[in-house]
Amino acid sequence: MQDKLSELKSILAEVSDLNRAGAVLSWDQQTYMPRAGAEARGQQMGTLGKIAHEKFTDEKVGKFLDELKDAYHPESDEFALIKVTRRDYEKQTRVPADFVVEQAQVTAAAHEGWVAARSKSDFSIFEPHLEKVMDLTRRYIDFFPKADHPYDTLLDDYEPGMKTAEVKAIFAELRKKQVRLIQAIAEQTQVDDSFLHLKFSEVKQRAFGEKVITAFGFDTNKNRLDKAPHPFCTSFSVNDVRITTRYNEKFLNPALFGSMHETGHALYDGGINPSYDRTPLANGASLGVHESQSRMWENLVGRSFPFWEHFYPDLQKIFPSQFSDVKLRDFYKAINKVEPSLIRVEADEATYNMHIMLRLEIEIAMVENTVALKDLPDLWNARMKEYLGVVPPDDAQGVLQDIHWSFGGLGYFSTYALGNLISAQLWEKINSEITDLSTHIREGRFDSLLGWLHANIHVHGRKYEPQELIQKVTGSRLTPAPYLRYLENKFKDVYGL
Amino acid sequence: MQDKLSELKSILAEVSDLNRAGAVLSWDQQTYMPRAGAEARGQQMGTLGKIAHEKFTDEKVGKFLDELKDAYHPESDEFALIKVTRRDYEKQTRVPADFVVEQAQVTAAAHEGWVAARSKSDFSIFEPHLEKVMDLTRRYIDFFPKADHPYDTLLDDYEPGMKTAEVKAIFAELRKKQVRLIQAIAEQTQVDDSFLHLKFSEVKQRAFGEKVITAFGFDTNKNRLDKAPHPFCTSFSVNDVRITTRYNEKFLNPALFGSMHETGHALYDGGINPSYDRTPLANGASLGVHESQSRMWENLVGRSFPFWEHFYPDLQKIFPSQFSDVKLRDFYKAINKVEPSLIRVEADEATYNMHIMLRLEIEIAMVENTVALKDLPDLWNARMKEYLGVVPPDDAQGVLQDIHWSFGGLGYFSTYALGNLISAQLWEKINSEITDLSTHIREGRFDSLLGWLHANIHVHGRKYEPQELIQKVTGSRLTPAPYLRYLENKFKDVYGL
């Protein structure tokens, strides 16, 4: 058995090396690559992906997985490795190679179409591409055993084990209460955040941001922060995890909270059991669990009052002309301002999930074929009015705002909202165990929080399925109640509800 | 035939993608990688190299090469592709896989040993490693057909077609005349270069350096300049070629002339026929020819009087306190100062080749087994005294100064000196065709020079063997006469010989 396991592991190590080499190439493409290098870079990444796929889907791998299925104790790392590898193997071998090639071509064209459509704010340019993407999506679903709902197959790619019915039930509960909360807030005196929209030099933003994320646990011996058009986190090993950010010199929030967010991802990737490196276990449990970490550091920590009790004097020192006359309490209210808006990635904590629900409903309708694609802009705008009371003036600020459909990423959006819920569910548990956590935060100490997350979440990598992990850690499956409690408490505080 | 060629080319494209992905990983390792990422990076690069080797040495490749041998006209690109691929294939398949593994292990340990030995300036620490490297080197030679001299096999890896006897003959002629030149210079009034050793801020050095290399043809759409501990040039496609440099704030020369040097390499790599991309033709003809390009831009252009007639006023403007009182002529003499010294990489044009000759003679003796390794420090120091009149005070500044032997790179050093010779031989030809080249340079125009190099050298990639290329372009094989003429004219000018 030991020989077979080590033979399997040496194949998985090669596949991991190829995938991580691909990740380095992608990181470089988004940070430093000269523009003209794009074509060759696409070929290089394509070759690495193709070889990784060939090696991983080799029959040998399936044979080892069969032979090793019952060889290890269900609680062991070896058992988890076989189980998770089996899951990936099933997914990758069910999809024929020529489908993958077709998908790459269709989505490459769809991406171009989306860019053009968005720049002209004209959905009809994107519609024929989306038609093809949806055709691929339905064929993709057919490669898998029939689920309770066809959308389950898509969800499962991003959030293993999550069902459409369960997400719908969770979101139904959220919608009712979040809509009420948003309405209640709308009736209060509005918050002034004009001082967040002054001039903030990139150099100073960077200096302050680095101070914050270093306090969180970001470590230049194994982490890097670079600039990129789109913020992301990427991991080349537990000892080399990098994030990016972009600076807006007219608005303090994006780079600051964006860096905290990406640091949350980076601390997760860097905290995975090093013995999982070069195996499929060396990743987060799911996108939702990953997002719970980024949201926790960004919102539950970074938008909390104790955090700013510690850091606001530093911020005032770095930006005296902007903040010397602004009281801590007013600053805190400003960074937590609620305002229904058009763009998901700019949404506040109270309204964010509404953007996700709208997308989930539309995606399910697309998969069920109960909506004509040409009607999407109207459907989108109607729902925006119903949920948030705002209507996009054009498609670019409406149905065309997100990249996800152009790459066929249906099923992805939910994980953002699930991440919010998981972050609050974990937060209640953490505060019950580290009862003086807010004192630590007020003192600028984050080691107790990070230590807890490392020991309870990070170290496990993909060993447990997301729901299994949440159950194990909090004692219950994913539930929206903690997040709703969190929102109500927070906005009671900010808006005096 | 066409089908076979395109099948072969698709294998070669994958191999090229893997190798270039490996180059991206190596570039990142030397520029941006956090320190702790080194172990995983080694594994990733090892995997890419291993898969590239497996794919390239596959029997299919040999079969295609056999079948396509006589399929194309000898002047065609296809013929050159088959010939060059055959050459690489023969080299790679003659060396057994387990030898390659052993070599990787021995040289990894030898590198550690060399670092330790150099830091303690104690050759005896490195000697047992060098013993193993030499054992490997002799076994490596034995994998190949018997040549006129065993050292030929090593030379051929770096300078295809070059023979030990020919290099020895060239160097014998050089030695006699260069020693005489160096002695004649030593008898003159020495040059003052103290103003090159003042304080030069990195930011300003960078600004001036970028101005110069941009004028040469460096283009941020397809090139990058980054900082790294060791300057190098690397290519990921003709449209993505990068260089690095390091700044010494107490000495102007290293970054400035180093950037010109690496730009010479970059212009070569970026000028190769784009249709050769993703094939073995997409590389320089040899290390010697590559070095001729870097040396040409660094020395024949960058250390010339017309060049500084154009750029010196700019330099004075950027560094007024250092240069406002220094006359152009004195600056020109300072950057061309001749001074026998201990370290190869710091040597001036008149003495540089002497460092190479000494290494060549010692390497040949090592391969012939006519010197005991323990005697190398004494032999080294004796030759230094004989050729340059200086004696290293310790091994770190003597026999241990270069990294090459630790990675088994015997045969490599000659290419540096050959590059100098080729640069001068090409220079005479260029000046006979572009008769007003020095006027162009005085006006800061380099397009005529770059255009000539593109059309006559760069575009061909590896299509021609180095000697074939030199013959084709200059009408004669490699000869030291132009370089000797160049040195004599230059130092007549600088030292009034």
**Identity of the residue in B24, B41, B43 whose CB atom sits nearest the CB atom of A25:** B24
- Does A203 reach chain B within 8 Å, measured CB to CB? no
- b/e sequence A173-186, b meaning 16+ C-beta within 10 Å: ebbeebbebbebbe
Structure tokens at A257: 């909270």
The whole-number pLDDT of residue A323 equals 98
Contact assignment for A36 to B278 by CB distance below 8 Å: no
For chain A, first and last CA: distance in Å? 63
pLDDT bucket at A217, cuts 50 / 70 / 90: very high
Asked if B339 has any chain A CB less than 8 Å from its own CB, the reply is no
Q: Which residues of B touch A282 (CB under 8 A)?
A: none
Whether residue A101 has pLDDT greater than 90? no
Q: Give chain B's mean pLDDT.
A: 96
Q: How many Cβ atoms sit within 10 Å of the Cβ of residue A332?
A: 19
pLDDT at A94: 96
Substitution target in B47, B48, B243 with the highest count of A β-carbons within 10 Å is B47
Whether A229 has a pLDDT exceeding 90, the answer reads: no
CB pairs A-B closer than 8 Å: 119
Residue A133 CA, distance from chain mean position: 22
Question: Which residue of A15, A16, A24 is the best one to mutate when testing the B interface, meaning the one whose CB has the most B CBs within 10 A?
Answer: A24
Per-residue pLDDT reduced to its tens digit, B91-136: 999 999 889 889 988 998 999 899 999 999 999 999 999 999 999 9
Whether the pLDDT of residue B229 is over 90: the answer is: no
Q: Cβ distance B478 to B170 under 8 Å?
A: yes
Q: Tell me if chain B has a CB within 8 Å of the CB of A53.
A: no
Residues from chain A contacting residue B21 (CB–CB below 8 Å):
21-22, 25, 44, 47-48
| Nearest Cα to Cα of residue A408 among A106, A127, A148 | A106
Q: Is the pLDDT of residue B346 over 90?
A: no
Q: Are strands A240-245 and B223-227 parallel, antiparallel or unpaired?
A: unpaired
pLDDT above 70: percentage of residues in chain A: 100
Q: Which of residues 229-258 of B touch A (CB under 8 A)?
A: 236-237, 239-240, 242
Burial (CB < 10 A; 0-12, 13-18, 19+), residue B168, is middle
For the stretch A444-457, pLDDT in tens is 999 999 999 999 99
The string of pLDDT tens digits covering residues B412-456 is 999 999 999 999 999 999 999 999 999 999 999 999 999 999 999
Write the pLDDT tens digit of every residue in A142-169: 999 999 999 999 999 999 999 999 999 9
All residues of chain B having their beta carbon less than 8 Å from the beta carbon of residue A35 are 221-222
- Render pLDDT for A281-318 as a digit per residue (tens, 0 to 9): 999 999 999 999 999 999 999 999 999 999 999 999 99
Q: Distance between CA A107 and CA A409 in Å, rounded?
A: 10
Residue A440 has pLDDT above 80, yes or no: yes
- pLDDT for residue A29 is more than 80: yes
Q: Is the pLDDT of residue A1 over 80?
A: no
Decide if A237 and B51 are in contact by the 8 Å CB cutoff.
Answer: no
Tell me, what's the pLDDT at B1?
Answer: 76
In this predicted structure, what is the pLDDT of residue B438?
Answer: 97
The DSSP H or E segment spanning A128 is helix A123-142
Confidence of residue B191 (pLDDT cuts 50, 70, 90): very high
Q: Does A32 touch chain B (CB under 8 A)?
A: yes
The answer to whether ipTM exceeds 0.85 is yes
Identity of the residue in B20, B28, B47 whose CB atom sits nearest the CB atom of A14: B47
Query: Chain A residues with CB inside 8 Å of B28's CB?
Result: 24, 28
Report the range of poorest mean pLDDT among A179-188, A364-373, B191-200. Answer: A179-188
pLDDT higher than threshold 80 for residue A432: yes
Amino acid A299: pLDDT: 97
Mean pLDDT of B451-478: 97
Q: Which of A9, A26, A41, A44 to mutate to test the interface with B (most CBs of B within 10 A)?
A: A44
Q: What are the residues whose beta carbons fall under 8 Å from the beta carbon of A123, sequence distance 6 or more?
A: A117, A376, A377, A395, A399, A400
**CA–CA dist A349, A339 (Å, integer):** 10
CA A369 to chain centre: 27
Question: CB-CB: which of B17, B240, B278 is closest to A34?
Answer: B240
- Chain A residues with CB under 8 Å of B42 CB are none
Contact by Cβ (8 Å): A433, A156:
no
Contact A100, A53 (CB under 8 A): yes
- What is the rounded CA–CA span in Å between residue A467 and residue A63? 29
> What value does the mean pLDDT take over residues A434-441?
98
Instruction: Count CB neighbours of B397 within 10 A.
Output: 17
- With 80 as the cut, is the pLDDT of residue A262 above it? yes
pLDDT at residue number B104:
87
Given CA atoms A130, A135, A141, A143 in this order, what sign does their dihedral have? negative
**Each residue of A56-74: b (16+ CB within 10 Å) or e?**
bbeeebeebbeebeeebee
**Minimum-distance CB partner of A51 among B43, B46, B51:** B51
End-to-end CA gap in chain B? 62
pLDDT (0 to 100) of residue A97: 84
Give B7-45 pLDDT, tens digit per residue.
999 999 999 999 999 999 999 999 999 999 999 999 999
pLDDT digits 0-9 by tens, A351-380: 999 999 999 999 999 999 999 999 999 999
pLDDT value of residue B247: 96
| Interchain CB distance below 8 Å, B24 and A20 | no
pLDDT band at B143 (very low <50, low <70, confident <90, very high): very high
Mind listing the pLDDT tens digit for each residue in B257-298?
999 999 999 999 999 999 999 999 999 999 999 999 999 999
Within a 10 A sphere around the Cβ of A340, how many other Cβ atoms? Answer: 19
Judge whether A41 is closer than 8 Å to chain B, CB to CB.
yes
Asked whether the beta carbons of residue A20 and residue B51 sit closer than 8 angstroms, the reply is: no
A271 touches A216 (CB < 8 A):
no
Q: Does A25 touch chain B (CB under 8 A)?
A: yes
Write the residue in A32, A43, A237 that is nearest to B37 by C-beta. A237
Q: What is the DSSP letter of A95?
A: S
Distance CA B358, CA B488 (A): 22
- In Å, how far is A461's CA from the nearest CA of chain B? 18
Residue of A302, A349, A300, A305 whose CA lies nearest to A330: A305
From A101's Cα to the closest Cα of chain B, the distance in A is 16
pLDDT averaged over every residue in chain A:
96
Take residue B86 and report the two structure tokens written for it. Answer: 């055959």
What are the two backbone dihedrals, phi and then psi, of residue B385, each rounded to the nearest 5 degrees? -65, -45
Residue B404 to chain A, least CA–CA distance (Å) = 27
Kindly report the number of other CB atoms within 10 A of residue A122's CB atom.
16
The model's pTM? 0.95
* Cβ atoms of A133 and A110 closer than 8 Å: yes
